[in-house]
Amino acid sequence: MELVATENQTMIAQMVRDFGAQHIKPRMMEWDESQEFPKEVFHKLGELGLMGVLVPQEYGGAGFGYVEYVTAIAELSKIDGSIGLSMAAHNSLCTGHILQHASEEQKHKYLPKLASGEWIGAWGLTEPNTGSDAGNMRTVAIEDGDHYVLNGAKNFITHGKTGNVAVVIARTGEVGDSRAMTAFIIERGTPGFAAGRKEDKLGMRASETTELIFTDCRVPKENVIGKVGDGFVQALKVLDGGRISIAALSLGIAQGAYEAALQYSKERHQFNQPISNFQGISFKLADMATEIEAASLLTYRAADMKDRGLNVNLESAMAKLYASEVSVRVANEGVQIFGGYGYTKDYPAEKYYRDAKLCTIGEGTSEIQKLVIARAILK
């Protein structure tokens, strides 16, 4: 195994750090407080190629692989998990679904706009009453001539209001049939397609999360991705890659929380010495560093396997499970090391703490990851 960062990884990491210092850090707490989605930041990320990291150059993307993609998400998330989350959702879900499963005509129509950051993408699978139980979705698409008519709602959708285009999975057959759901590309402005309530969230507050509502929404058949009935199967394949992106998001938040705590422990003095001298603190830091390293290895292994075209169902679930749980533990210990100051917004520890929790929930809860892992190892 080659564990040394490549030239591309080093270049991307430095580019993201420089970008974050100029365009994210000065306003990230303002965005967090107001729950403002900074759309202009993502247009700028598009100019750097980070909104189409995995998209081949022929469709206007950067043409990189998952290893570079993980590096970009982790570096962004060290600065602000909200920005890392939105960048990951745009790349892995909406753009990723079109890249993996759409026709050439659809790819040439949508990928250049998504990869450049001109358009922001959303992806709709989860519904108010069907989270992990996505197979029982209630959003329906009824065939009507050259169109399908959609009725229903999706929730917890990243970029549900701001997104220019969404990939939406709707039921075209019987409830509970995994081969009875179909993926559609729906552009904002389509009659009957609207954003609903915006969620007021604990963390990741600058990453927009809303409902999508469909009321007699007519979508032309040319906007069906792949075959009718393949939508859910496509979604599961998309989520295999998406779990790697959430592992990277988790890794970045954990690294950010750890580095902040490490620096603070060297600067904060009690009893005439830095608190890092005390075993109670140094052992916390040792555990944090070790778990982050293990999470990194799992994440980059899954990314490397994905780049080599291997099945990553098991490895992506392991990486997502472990990295997300590590992120929560590290962020928690970070607050503890900061003490009372960790509970205030004057220091970064509380934001890492709030942001980290979503990583154990989004794109499949920790419990679902364990189910995926158990099924794989018990075959």
* Placement of tokens 């220091």 in the chain: 347
Verify whether residue 267 is a known catalytic residue. Answer: no
On whether the CB atoms of residues 68 and 75 are closer than 8 A, the answer is no
Give the integer Cα–Cα distance in Å for 296 and 208.
27
Give the integer Cα–Cα distance in Å for 183 and 172.
10
On whether the CB atoms of residues 223 and 186 are closer than 8 A, the answer is yes
Active-site annotation holder among 75, 291, 333, 363: 363
**Catalytic site residues?**
363
